[in-house]
Amino acid sequence: MFQLLKQLFKNKLFMCYIFAQALVVAAFNSVLIFFIDFYQLNGLSRSEAVSIYLYMNITSTLFRFVPGILKQIPHVSVISIPAFSALVGAIAIAIFPLVPPSYTSFILVACLYGIGLGGMVTVLGISIIKLAGEENYSAALGMSMTCSGIMNAAAGPISGFIRDTTGNYDMSFFCAAATLFMASVFFCITLVARYYSGSNKSSRLDFELVIRRKSRRRSSILPWRKKSVDLSG
């Protein structure tokens, strides 16, 4: 068991991924606890605030199907999905304090938040299998959940402290958005490093032009074109 954990700790791609995953969980949840109060402070009634929260959860649920659909597209890496979702979440959280305080605008931003949240939930398992291996899935998932739990436990008090210090929720939202953006960067680092390490050759686009000496034929730059292009003419 200790040998397995040691092996996982040495897996830099996996450690980078679970660190980014922990940042995402902490950032999303650190502002989620403020939603109802934030809406009410901006002039909405409690029923309107709860309805916005409901719409956000519905959007999040619906967009949990999207990663599975995107994964069916050739050459789309599963790690690119959380990178995109974290970026969408960062944009949504950053504009929460900036939009006009109206019921419609808050619904739109909350749904954008739900898109980012929904895209994150469904890719955790398959991403861990890709990075740590199916045989190490249980231990790797445990490490991921532990790291996420520690950061999530710290995120709430930190966000609350920022709110109490500044007197409003704006800085808490901006800090959460910055954290999500940083997580997106770490996801991109994992994606690029995995690409160049050769562990994801099956998902690479065929940009290399393979020269055949006799026929002087090269493969097409388009990934969906399997036939060679004759350049001898």
Average pLDDT over residues 65-90: 80
Map out the domains of the chain as residue ranges.
Answer: 2-199, 204-233
pLDDT band at residue 198 under the 50/70/90 scheme: low
Q: Which residues contact 184 (CB under 8 A, 6 or more apart)?
A: 20, 83, 84, 86, 87, 90
What is the pLDDT at residue 110? 93
When pLDDT is cut at 50, 70 and 90, the band that residue 131 belongs to is: confident
Residue 61 to residue 29: CA distance in whole angstroms: 16
Return the pLDDT at 71: 67
CA distance 11 to 197: 12
pLDDT of 77 higher than 70:
yes
User: Of 123, 117, 24, 131, which is closest to residue 68 (Cα–Cα)?
Assistant: 123
Share of the chain above pLDDT 70, in %: 83
Helix (H, G, I), strand (E, B), or coil: what is residue 58? helix
Average pLDDT over residues 99-121: 89
pLDDT at site 148:
87
- pLDDT at site 208: 33
* CATH, domain range 2-199: 1.20.1250.20
